[in-house]
Structures are given as C-alpha cells and as structure tokens.
Structure 1
Amino acid sequence: MVLVTRFGKPDYFVTMTCSPHWEEITSQLFPGQTPQDRPELVARVYRAKLRDLHDFLIKKSHLGEVTSYAHVTEFQKRGLPHEHFLLIMAPNSKLSSPDDYNKVISGEIPDPIKYPVLHALVIKHMLHGSYGALNKNCPCMIDGHCRFRYPRQFCSATQQGKDSYPIYRRREDGRRVATRGAVLDNRWVVPYNPTLVMRYNCHINVEVCSSIKAVKYLYKYVYKGHDRASFSVDPQDQNGTIINEIRQYRDARFITPPEAVYRIFGFPLYAVSPSVLQLQLHLPNMQLVSYRATDNLNDVVNREKSKRSMLTEYFKMNLVDSKARKLLYKEFPEHFRWIKSDKRWQARVKRPQVGRIVYANPAEGERYYLHVLLNHVRGATSYENLRTVHGKTCSTFRDACEMIGLVETDRSLDECLAESTTFHMPCALRRLFTTIIVFCEATNIRGLWENHFEAMSQDYRCTHNDAAMVEQLVLRDIRNVVHSMGKDVRNYGLPEVDDSGDVLA
C-alpha cells in the first residue's frame, strides 16, 4: 500500500492463466501423455511466457510507461498457475476517460470476417467459464447467481461503474457464437486486450482500476495466500461414538504438482518494483539486537553496531547532511541506501526504493506517538530533538504530539484507522477500533464510529442487505471484544446492541 501512497492507485489489473494447449507444451509430450503428466514442462513454459509478458508490459511499455508494479503467481486447486499484475502508470500513460478505455480493452466478440484469428482466440479463451446461469452446477454459481455477475448487461458505451470498475462497452450487434452446448453473445465476454490475447494465446483478462475504492480489494486478491485443505488423519468411526473433529482434521496447505515443481526450480513467486524497505521503529535503547548463542552478552551490549539502527542512524545523518534534514523518515530510502552489514545510510545513486515505517498500534502508547511524530516531523537529530516543540522539550512523545496539534480532536486515532483500512480486513479493523475506544482516551468515539463504520462492516455488507442488521452484527462483535477486556460497551456512547434472535439470525 505504500506504493499507492507514493505513486497513486493501480491503473491496470492483468491476469494471465497458463494454457495446457500451448504449442510449446503439446509439442514436447510423449505419445499418450497429457499436460498433467508433465508438471515440470508446464512450469518451465509458463515461466518463460511470464517473463516475456513482464518485459512486454514493463520494459516495452505495451500499455504505457509503468512507474510501479506488483505481480504474484498463484496456483489453484486444479493445478495450473496464473499471474496477477497490478500496474501503476506514469502520468502521461494514465487512462483519463471511458473513451481511453475502449482503445485498450474490449468486452465484445470481434468481427469473424475482419479479425478471424482474434475471433477464434476470444471464443476459445475469453468467454466466461461454464456459462454461469446457463449451468446451475457451475462452481461460480452461489444461491442461483453467478458471483462474477455473468451475463453482464448490454451497454452502448463504456461507463464508470458503481463498484470501482468500468462498465465496458458491450453492444447488441447481433453476434452470437455456439460453443460447448450454449449460444453466447457479448454479455459473456471477459474484458481483454486484443494484442495480449493474440500474442499469448491464453486467457488473459485486463481490467481498468478506475477508482481508489478497488485498491484494497485488488491487493488482498493478489496477496491472499495459499489454498488450504482439510484432510482426515483418523478413519471414520463406525460405532456411533462421538467423533473428535479437532483430532480428525488438520489445516494444511494444498500444493499441486506444478507448484511443487515451480518451487523446486526456485522460480520467484512474486515481484514488486520499486522495492519497499521496512523502516525500524523503536523507543530509545529498545532496538532489536541479533547475536549468536555462544556470544558473551556483555560484549553484545557494548558492541558499537548493537547501538545502531535505521532510526538512530537517521538521526545521525540529519546532524551532518543538510539535504537529509528536508526528508521525513519514510522518505529517507528514496534518497539514501541502508547498508545492512555496516548499519549505516549511504547516498543513493540508482535503484529507487520506497520506505515504510513499521506499523504501531495505539495500545502501544509511546511507541505509537513516536510513529506519529516521525510521519510529520522532518530533520529530527535525536529522540530529545523530536520531543522538542518551539524550544520546549516535552517529557513524552504524546505531549509533543499534543503540543504540535497532531492528536487534537482525535485526529491521530482517526488517521490510524484510516491507514489500517488500506490493508486490514474488517474483522481486524473492528478489533483495532475496540482497542482505541478502550485504551486511547478518545473524546469523540461516536465520530470515529461514523467515519469508519463502512470499512468495519464491509464483510457483513457482502452477505446482508439489511443496513440495520449489518450495524447490529458489527456492534455485537465490538461488544464481545470489549467484554473480553472486562469493560462495558455501554460506557462508550455507541448505538445499543439488539440481542434478539430475529436481528442477529
């Protein structure tokens, strides 16, 4: 998320899926073999295609100049890998209007006479799955509706949608294709870039991220982690006795043969550019120190390197370099490089890097207020200097924050929740909100509730349409956490919790 803070929201979301029918795979199979029999071949060919796609998008700037990107390889349970790309474009390459979208992305079946090869590839790769509503047994069907909302509606022109994605142009041009027992039209086309489909001959979805609201979802999607599986380790009890499900089942990762081979070959599973440096955050003399089990602890404590950290060396650099004093701590890695072996900062020559200060929770007290100061004060030369405001040295970092005005009217708490909204799940946001109201002496708890209720209720709003029910579900979660801390939620001025079974069913 620090890339979004520095460079802006992603402009493109590109997904490429491995095709088992690539000629590079099928031509190398032995008689009687299928691609499933050669996971090492699938992994190598996919990696080669991925490197070419990376160069085509980043170095050759097919979609425009890219300033920042992140991409991750994911393996589904069915085995084939696919790649998720998020691209942040340079200002001169950003799409500014729906007309620009149409130049890059299409949501229609191409003319079979004018573009016969592209037409065949779109029919083969870019029509939605097992046809959603036309196949009630399709995996994408939930409660009788396709979770990807296919078929989409016809639309004569590209428009800005309500869910942070555009509504792509899908004209009713009379084109129909009969494939796999169904007759489909433009409503079933997955958005694609014609050049990429022609070049890579596979399913390669291209979407425009037209609103900042899509960012959190996209990054969660890219970094959602491994597939999981539950498996039985004991035989099914045949005597009718009580089954201990905790003993019977274990949570495990689901690894397919292509993923196993991919990891054995040592192929990277993700990439991000520019790289992000995690900046240390600690109170005076509380930095982490590494040492061997055989080291003498007195020697470790007295060692010169043990007294250095990114933060202490940042202070020292501000003492001797006038240019450094113009930078915030989080901006430092863009201009200076951290030499880990020597524990010192060095002027940067190439390879830009972005800094991110380690997250601090409001319940951590002084460490949290140190985090607030470092995000707002430039050129600090020591902890004492950081606590000095208008020539007066404050006794605590919180006092310094209050004197500067960083915590008045709960502003720092509001900023903490706003920052956490970018990368925390709703359940984690509710726990953080509870921590704030219990430990941080907020003066306007109801205001914090109203400002961040939408983010804290995002998961419940996906499954419930009743706003009152969503509010009660969120309140119930917060009340339960407050009670676990030995407090009463009624003391904090929040709406009343309705415990009736009808509301919370």
Structure 2
Amino acid sequence: MHPQSKYPTPSDIDNIICVRIPDLEVYLTLYNLVKAHMIHGQYGLSRLTSPCMKNKKCSKYFPKKFTDDTIVDADGFPLYQRRTNTHVIHKTDIALDNMHVVPYNTRLLLKYQAYINMEWCNQSTSIKYLFKYIHKGYDRITATIVPSISKTLQDQEPIDDIKGYLDCRMENILEKPSVTESMFSSCLVANAKYEEACSLTYDELMIMFVYERRKRLWKPRKIGFTICRLIQVPPTTDNFFYLRMMLIVVKEPTSYEEICKVDDNQYDSFRDACFIMGSLKMTDNTLEISKRLVNEVQVIFFESFS
C-alpha cells in the first residue's frame, strides 16, 4: 500500500484497534456494546462445552496477557495494549477484564452495533482473505448418469454395495423438504403471510427478516438488521440472470408468475418482464444492461435506523 495508508508503528495501531473495557459512567453506550458483542467469556474448565474449548483449552488463546504498550514482534504479529488498571464486565457472576476483550474498532462498533473483530496484519495472504468471499460462486454439485445394473445373469455386473446404498437413499433425499423448499420459495410464502413484507424486494426482505433453517421459513427480525448481498449471476445463465434482475425491483411476489407481471400484464418469461420494465435494451441484437443495474454493488451497507 501507499505509505500514507500504512500503520507501521504501535501508536498507529492503538488509533484504530482497541482492546479495553470503557468506563461505564463516561461511555455508557460503548460499554454496553463491548459487553454484548466483544467479550470472549464463559469458557474454561468450568464450561468445557463452550465452542472455543479444544482439549480443555481455549482455541482462541484467551485469556490474553496484560501488556502496557502495543508491541509488534519479529514476525510482524502484534500484542495489543491490555493494561491492568481496567474496568470489568460481569457475566453470570464472573468478572471479566481486558484479558477477555476481542480487538475492536470504536467507530465501527458504535456504527453497526455488532460483533466486528478488528485485527492488524501485514501478511500477503490477508489480501486473499479479504476478497475470497465476494468472489465465491453459488453452491455446486457434481452428478453422473450411468446405466442401471442389469438383473439378468448374462449381463450382471459386479455389485457395488456403496453405490447401491446411495442410490436407494437418493429418492428419499430428493423428496425432503430441505431440498424442495429453498430460502427463495420460503420468501414467497413470507410475502403472502406478513404485511411487513408487502413493500420489500427480495434483498430488502433479507435485511428486515431472519431465516430459520430448521423450520425453513422467514420471520420478521425482533431487533436490528443485517448486511446482505445477492450472489452474482452471469448473463450466460439466461433465465436465472433475468430472475435476479427482477428480484431487485419486484415487491411482494408470492409466486414465480407474479415476478413476470408488470403493470397487471402477465409475461411468459423473466426476460420479457425485464425488457418491459426498461432494465434491458436491444441494440443491434446485443443485450445491454442499463446503467442503473451496472452500477449496482454486490454488497450494500445500510445505515442503522434512528
């Protein structure tokens, strides 16, 4: 990076990363946010069932050691400033101090009011980590089509017990609700069930609603919101591409047919509906995407509600 964008000294790190419990009487809001989101607590020998416990030790190496000043070791890894003269946070009658604070950025924590682990690093692999999620494609599955095993003695093939077991299970798997009912099909049901969903597009519904995977249904969030994105769909996928384009403009659809409806007129395909909506233009037999959709970002951050 450009030298002006780097944070080479420990004092620079202290300006953006904090690992201390704020004063309750001075910074009440920040104190409550640190308590709710940034404390790594309730673990150890008294709670071996904690997700972080591996071989009776915390896999995240908590509690950390007290350090008077931030130090960057020879390998480039920082030891953040964790001073002993600290305030404490009580969770289930346990007093937790700075040794249990997950590194955070004060400004981001106040803005988004959620768990945001802020770390300082200088490894080249961090570039891959930053961008790998937004470049991930949709889920994929590999399938093969093979001739069925003949039952005649002449054409009988060697019996593959493992393959036979999987083949027997395949029909049952395809009939499971977890396969037939997707997050999107459940969204269509939520649009018909909840009045709050009537004014929301699909991406907006994911912000204000929460999906319960076990029950395969959407329900309104009780508090706050989330940050979401719709996966990128290339134009080569044809109908899926046009469907995604319609999902960011059509509100409260309860069926696939309603997604293809524009001004009370029903169209045969998502492509036709996109064209009527003005999202697409045909010029010299070439499909052009209008600027409104080209400039759409994959990840949309929403400000917190007042």
TM (norm. structure 2) is 0.49
TM-score by length of 1: 0.32
More strand as a share of residues: 1
